[in-house]
Amino acid sequence: MAISNAGAPLGVVAPSHGLILIGKLDAIKDIKAPTLAELQAETMIDFTYTIKTFDRKSTQEFIEDERWTLAQPLKYPGMKSTEISINYAFSNDRTDEVAKLDEFLVENEQYVMVVRSAIAKEEPLKADQLVDVIPFTCGAKIKDAPTNNAVWTKTVQLGAGDIQDDVKIVAGAAA
């Protein structure tokens, strides 16, 4: 076997923060197959530039099975969980574009977030592009501590539902 001097293959460098759309839960009929028409509808609002941080942490627990005759315990995959929070700019001026997300999200209401990564925001949505579809219940909107010379922000925990990663956008009209 020859030794390669080519170096490690590079990952995809995202040209931007992608695209983040949020709508009411019923805006997408089938979260495993969102249609292009559903994603382009006015019911899905583009909050890409309003959201400052999108923090998604997925974990999986393991069940340990210690056996008297084994030096190392056996481990089996257990429950998976995902925690999601967003931090966004807000304004007390309700005529301001920045206030739109704060007014749209209501605690305990259900929504769906569609995240398209590694494709510039300016690139139009197309059939067969991969997106993550995240149904969620909105938690409490917590004002972050104000700091001098900074943007006012709020942070909200999202109670994630049945997350669908890397689903293809389906061409055509809504189901």
Q: Tens digit of pLDDT for each residue in 41-58?
A: 999 998 888 888 888 998
Q: Is the pLDDT of residue 173 over 90?
A: no
Burial class of 82 by CB neighbour count within 10 A (0 to 12, 13 to 18, 19+): middle
How does pLDDT run across 61-113, given as a tens digit for each residue? 999 988 888 888 889 999 988 999 999 988 777 777 777 888 899 999 999 99
Q: Is the pLDDT of residue 21 over 60?
A: yes
Distance from C-alpha of 32 to C-alpha of 24, rounded to nearest angstrom: 16
Task: Write down the pLDDT at residue 18.
Answer: 83
**What is the average pLDDT value for the chain, to the nearest integer?**
87
Task: Write down the pLDDT at residue 68.
Answer: 85
Q: Where are the domains of the chain?
A: 19-65+72-168
Q: Is the pLDDT of residue 159 over 90?
A: yes
pTM of the predicted model, to two decimals? 0.80
Class of domain 19-65+72-168: mainly beta
